[in-house]
Amino acid sequence: MMRIIMLALTNLAVMAVLFITLNIISAVFGINLGGGSMGGILIMALVFGFGGSFISLFMSKWMAKRSMGVEIIDTPRTSEERWLVETVRKQAEKVGIGMPEVGIFHSPDPNAFATGASRNNSLVAVSSGLLQHMSADEVEAVLGHEIGHVANGDMVTQTLLQGVLNTFVIIFARLIGLAVDNFFRSSDDESGGVGMGYFIGSIIAEIFLGFVATAIVMWFSRYREFKADIAGAELAGRPKMINALKRLQQAHAVNDLPGEMAAFGIAGGLGTGLRKIFMTHPPLEDRIAALENAR
């Protein structure tokens, strides 16, 4: 749950930085994007809403390498690394995408993720624990799952979805702020502009709506996991994909990947109650059942 809270707060923090930056630009160049102007609110919402999302998208590979300590395989040194790169190459060619960068990050837990700004500029990374505890067939299926994320354009789609939701969050938060400000303002106040009620109301509304937006993004993340499982089954074979998911079931207390990497990992954490709303992945038993019942 704390990881989801940090993800939501990070998204809000990016928008806050853009808000401060835009206000500095407004003060220097005299551009009026006042809180009471609907045109100003719309421009601000579009800039903040999509700005933060696309900044995160274009920095995703760099952030993944830094935060996860991913070691890119430029020149394979072992037979295992050669097999890993060659398997990714074959799968990428099969689905018609550019060759992703391939890397390994050190973690005892079996996991993997894909990220990148586009289908032809991506990264696929697996944990050392995945290579140690899974068979070659199971690793092949996991790689197919991650290649499926890339081929389906999940990173870009999530960015667009997050941008749209951010935009609506900003617009409705400002409208709520204006309503609160008007409610508490005395009828004889003709000073113009907005008061403290606008800023307090906007901040509280933005935090609440930000968590609602995060829940929607997490729902989409869970939905696309089923699609990526299908891709893994098509690339490696359905029995291999099912066995890989069953192997993940046996890995008790698998740790979540940090931040935005979690949404593109092969395995996610467990959730009960309200936590289910903020899960990046469906329960493994649901994913296994979906593949077993697929025709």
Is 206 labeled as catalytic in the residue annotation? Answer: no
Rounded Cα distance, 271 and 56, in Å: 26
Q: Are 278 and 262 in contact (CB under 8 A)?
A: no
All residues at 6 or more sequence positions from 217 whose CB lies less than 8 Å from its CB, including other chains: 158, 161, 162, 165, 263
Give the active site residue among 101, 138, 140, 146. 146
Residue 91 vs residues 111, 139, 140, 223, 289: alpha-carbon distances, Å: 19, 13, 9, 22, 24
Nearest C-alpha neighbor of 292 from the set 239, 236, 231: 239
Task: Convert 75-88 to b/e letters by CB count within 10 Å (16 or more is b).
Answer: eeeeeebeebbebb
Report the alpha-carbon distance of residue 23 to residue 17 in Å, rounded.
Answer: 10
In the DSSP assignment, the letter for residue 115 is E
Q: What is the dihedral of CA 56, 91, 245, 216, to 10 degrees?
A: 30
| Residues taking part in catalysis | 146
